[in-house]
Chains A and B, each alone.
Chain A
């Protein structure tokens, strides 16, 4: 099954933030599933294909850290971006945070978020299909591709293609 869009799992307990980010990503060709609790996130991940997850750390109930660990355990190839407002948060302190793709501080401007999402998705694709970085770069660096959207499109195709190949084998 080929997906037209990149599937983003957005987890944050702030409804207003959840809603606005979701809408802004959606109009930029992302498929966003937004949930406000950690346990819901795990449920969504079980039932939907996810390409990149954006996690808040401080949430009622299941914390972002737990969600990160659980997601990585179930989907080792999935890249996860931590988006936190915690001012004194130090990812170096705990080993678990090595599993995250990167950390973004709230408030984060959309361009940075988009860039990080593309890079994270690139990594996801590489993880999933064990493609070396330079191969991906060479595939993406065709002169015809100019915009981020085109790059994503190509990545998506690559992802789908590889999946099909694997499925066939």
Chain B
């Protein structure tokens, strides 16, 4: 038998009130929509922000890292270069001093037993070359200082043959030696330069003491506008020349460079700050030059650039956020506008649909109203005729009342039709509450129809799915729908018949069917079943509006009514409702 699919997909139909139609979906109200837009706005903003911020952050971190690395490297290289430069200066200074001393051997009048005046003259020569020279001694091959000039005359004739530096100088091939700093007999830190000259098969040695103060000038320099300090240490790690701020001469240095590396750059902690430190071993002297500066100072440039980079990124991010905020706002406004337009169009469509429906109604309504009106007019005329004695009709209160009753009946019939039409086009907003479909069915069967069913001996079979979910519906409207269907079923089965109420879940839809074993309908009747004023019932019994109204209500909830019928077998009306709306 033909099954009439009356509806399209849920939500495709205009809903029964304008406020519902605006919601995009059936019965969605304003607050739901606002919430939806708030959520959409938040998701959009966060999404776009992340999409921009994550790459920016990664890039910033990456460049910061790369930049730091290169700045650190360049700072190290720079410090190493400064150190190299200072080392050269110190080496040059040392070489000059050594040459100064060597030159003493070369005058033509040099003799191997210098008198005091000659020694004083040599010292004066040396001091002219460099004020650091303190004294001078001439040592014969036996290691005895046979000539001396300087502030410590008691050193004359001192035996140096067992002194380490003397032994080293006379046994090694190198023709000069520079000693570590030592206090010696005079309790003043100084170092010794000794040079040897082979004369007549024996080594004669000139030794001279130097004040290390002059070295200080080579320890501090200014590079790139930043001060770089340095110190000299010997192999034992004792300061040979140092700024008083860092340590005491001859005391243990804060840093002892490894001897197996000629030079390197490293970092150490000193006085609570990290120092960038570069060292290099001198050639002429077994000393190591160490140059250092606080890392903060060395990296100041980098810090400045890093700060501007971070500030720049922050400004960029802020600007992005502003732009994103503006764009998102605009998109949301635009979406709302489009949605509003769509809703308006839908509302208009709905009203057009309604107008068409009302227009279709009008013909039927006229007929349904005109019939009772015709009865009223005719009965009134008849009463008038009764009152006209010439016509000779029976005119007693009883006969008149009988006609008046007919008038009353017609009036109430007309009224019931107008009421139903009003409910058909009514625009009140339905109230949505969670409803148990089974309970609504029971309300109708046991509440409204129980008496009638027991009188007519109609039995009701129940076949409910225990998993029938609660749905958001207007219980009054849904009761009206079920009452309509159950009324139709009971009219169809007649006395002693049976009606089956069934609920089923199917692919997210709840199917509620009312099945009867009544007279059924043929294909043509099934086609017309939802048309307003179509009825198979006797005159005056059915208005032909029930199914029409029911369909309207169910479509309002995003559902549909399906019908299946076979003449002589019965009809099944199924209300199909979406589980989520």
Contact = CB atoms under 8 A, between A and B. Distances in A.
Interface in B361-387: 362-371, 373-379, 381-382, 385
B524 interface: no
Interface in B321-356: none
Contact of B378 (A60, A87, A105, A107): A107
A17 interface: yes
B404 to A, nearest CB: 12
A139 to B, nearest CB: 29
Interface string A6-22: 00000001101100110
B381 A87 contact: no
A85 B367 contact: yes
Contact of B363 (A24, A60, A88): A88
Contact of A20 (B373, B379, B391, B539): B379
Nearest to A56: B371
A88 B379 contact: no
A88 B374 contact: no
Q: Is the interface of A mostly helix, strand, loop or mixed?
A: loop
B371 A106 contact: yes
B385 A27 contact: yes
B405 to A, nearest CB: 9
A87 B393 contact: no
Contacts of B366: 85-88
A148 interface: no
B372 to A, nearest CB: 8
A26 to B, nearest CB: 9
B370 A23 contact: no
A108 interface: yes
A20 B391 CA distance: 15
Interface string B396-422: 000000010010011000000000000
Nearest to A106: B374
Interface residues of B, number: 29
B392 interface: yes
Nearest to A110: B381
A58 B374 CA distance: 14
B403 A20 contact: yes
A58 B363 CA distance: 12
Contacts of B260: none
B373 A106 contact: yes
Contacts of A108: 374, 377
Nearest to B373: A107
A135 interface: no
Contacts of A20: 375, 378-379, 381-382, 403, 406
Contacts of A21: 378
A105 B367 CA distance: 10
Given A16-B375, A24-B381, A107-B377, A85 B370 contact: yes
Contact of B539 (A14, A107, A110): A14
A37 B199 CA distance: 164
Interface in A8-65: 13-14, 16-17, 20-21, 23-24, 27, 58, 60
Contacts of A88: 362-363, 366
A98 interface: no
A109 interface: yes
B378 A17 contact: yes
B507 interface: no
Contacts of A106: 370-371, 373-374
Given A17-B378, A23-B382, A27-B392, A87 B406 contact: no
B538 interface: yes
B385 A24 contact: yes
A60 B539 contact: yes
Contacts of B393: 23, 27
Given A20-B382, A60-B539, A27 B374 contact: no
Nearest to B363: A88
Contacts of B370: 85-87, 105-107
Nearest to A111: B381
A129 B410 CA distance: 42
A107 B376 contact: yes
Contacts of A58: 367
Given A24-B378, A88-B362, A14 B371 contact: yes
Nearest to B376: A107
Given A16-B410, A20-B381, A87 B363 contact: yes
6 contacts: A14-B539, A23-B382, A23-B393, A85-B366, A87-B364, A87-B370
Given A16-B375, A27-B385, A85-B369, 17 more contacts: A17-B371, A17-B374, A17-B378, A20-B379, A20-B382, A24-B378, A24-B381, A24-B382, A27-B393, A58-B367, A85-B370, A87-B367, A107-B377, A107-B378, A108-B374, A109-B377, A110-B381
